[in-house]
Structure formats: C-alpha cells, structure tokens
Amino acid sequence: MVESIYQSEMAEIIKLIESFADPLNTFNLFLSFTSIFINILHLIILTRSSIKPSSTNTIMIGIAIVDVFVLSLTVIKHISLVDIENNEW
C-alpha cells in the first residue's frame, strides 16, 4: 500500500520534470546551432590575412575552434538521445 503511494508520487514528479526538460532540451539544441554559426563567422573574420596576427587573435581562434567542437558534440548527443527515445525516425 505504502509503496504504491510512493510510486504514484514518483510518477507525478517524473512527469513534472519531463514537462520542463523536453522544452529546455529543444532550446539547448537551438542555442547550440546558433552558437556554432556565430563561432564559424568569428573564425572566418579572425583568420583573414588583413587582420594583424597577435597572441590575442590566436587565443580567440583557439577558443572558437574548441567552442565549435564542444557545441557539435552537444548536437550529436541530442540527436542520439532523440533517436533512442523515438525509434520512428
């Protein structure tokens, strides 16, 4: 009897968490794509030959490259999780 009450409460909590998590996950995917696009634009600008090479620009190029890599992993992770949840794709 007591276990069934806890199970129903846990089911409600899980539904509540999922109602927040799904839209936030979609928003995270949108922000990742937007950030990848912006970082690629930064890379294009920073790697032009007309820009004077400096240590600051080199650091900014490195940060943009790593940022694109990490955000790409976020997108791949999202796609693989959606693929696991919805096998209908």
Tell me the C-alpha distance between 56 and 1, whole Å.
Answer: 65
pTM (two decimals): 0.74
Identify the pLDDT of residue 89.
Answer: 46
Q: Could you state, in order of their start, the residue ranges of all structural domains in the chain?
A: 25-88
| Interval 21-47 mean pLDDT | 92
State in Å, rounded, how far the first CA of the chain is from the last one. Answer: 40
Average pLDDT over residues 59-72: 95
User: In whole angstroms, what is the distance from residue 68 CA to residue 2 CA?
Assistant: 50
Q: How confident is the model at residue 83 (pLDDT cuts 50, 70, 90)?
A: low
